[in-house]
Amino acid sequence: MQAAVETDQLGKRYGRQWALRDCSLHLPVGRIAALVGPNGAGKSTLLHLAVGLSRPDAGAVRIFGETPYRNPAALAGIGFVAQDTPLYRDFTAAELITMGGKLNQRWDAALARTRLADLGLPPDKPVGKLSGGQRAQVALALALAKRPRLLLLDEPVASLDPLARRAFLQTLMGSVAETGTTVLLSSHLLADVERVCDYAIVLNAAQVRLAGPVDDLVATHRRLVGPRHDGTTIPGVAEIVRASHTDRQSTLLVRTDGPVAHPQWTEHDVALEDVILAYLADGDTQASHEAWGVPA
C-alpha cells in the first residue's frame, strides 16, 4: 500500500539532544491520522521534517515516495498549518489569499473565499484582530487552497475553546471528505482524536511506540483482571503494556494475538484513550490523565 508519509530510522538532533531517533512509520494514503505524544516527544520535529523545513541528521523521510527537503515539486502537494497558526497579522484574509495565489502554482482562491464566507469571517479585517479560532480557520482555508495531497496540522486547536475546536474540526472533516486528502494531525486532545481520526501514531521518547488503524488498535488491546500476576505466560497475550497490582489482584492492559482463553482472567474492552495512555504512562496514572485532559 502506498505511503503518504514514510520514515526509516529517522533522526533529528539539536546539539547533543535527539528530538527524534530511530523513528520509523508508514502512514497509508487516504487516512486521517492522529500524531499523539507528550510535550517534547518530537511531534513538531517530525512534522517539520515531513514538510521540508528541517533536514534529517539520520535516516530518511519520504512524502509519496519523495524526499521533501529542498524539493519544490514534492512540497507543492503538501499543506501545513503550524502550531499557533502563524500568519502575517497586518494582512487581511483577502490579501493572504491573493498572496497565496502568487506563491503557489496550484491555488484555488475560490475555495478559500467560499470557506471563509461560509464561516462568516470578514475578508477585509487584519487577521491580527481576529479571534484565535478565526485565525485558525483562515490558516486552514489557506492550506486547503493548495489542494494538497497531504495536510499536516501541528496542534491547530490546542489553544481554542471547545466551540472553536468543534467548528475547526467540522470544517476539516468536510474538506477532507470532498477531496480525499491524507491528514496527519498532531494533538494531545484525545477526545478530538477519537472523534475525527481513523489512524493513530503514538510518539514517545523520540520514537514511534504504536501505529495503526484505530479500530485495529482498539480490537487488539484488552484489560484483564485476575489473580496477582507472577510473570507466567497468559494464552492469547502478546505483550503486557501496563500492569497494576494489589496484594491479591492484578489489572493488566495487554496487546493480544488471539483469544484470551484463561478461566482466571476476566476480559474487558478498552477505549482508544486507554490504549494511548497505557503506551505513554510513566507510572503516575493521575498525572498522565491530567496531562492528557481526560478524567482519571
Whether residues 179 and 235 share a domain: the answer is no
CA 216-217-218 angle, to 5 degrees, is 90
Residues of the domain holding 268: 220-291
pLDDT one-digit tens code per residue, 210-251: 999 999 999 999 999 999 999 899 999 999 999 999 999 999
Is residue 296, in this structure, part of any structural domain at all? no
Give me the residues of the chain with pLDDT under 70, please. 1, 282-296
- pLDDT computed for residue 1 by the predictor: 67
Whether residues 177 and 32 share a domain: the answer is yes
pLDDT one-digit tens code per residue, 165-184: 888 888 888 888 888 899 99
- pLDDT computed for residue 5 by the predictor: 97
Give the single-character DSSP code of 229.
P
- pLDDT computed for residue 2 by the predictor: 82
How many separate helices (H) and strands (E) can be counted in the chain? 10, 13
- Strands (DSSP E) contained in 167-236 are 182-186, 199-204, 207-213, 221-227
- pLDDT computed for residue 158 by the predictor: 78
Whether residues 43 and 176 share a domain: the answer is yes
Q: Can you say how many angstroms the Cα of residue 157 is from the centroid of all Cα atoms in its chain?
A: 12
Is residue 156, in this structure, part of any structural domain at all? yes
Report how far apart, in Å, the C-alpha atoms of 93 and of each of 124, 131, 164, 169 are.
Answer: 6, 13, 18, 20
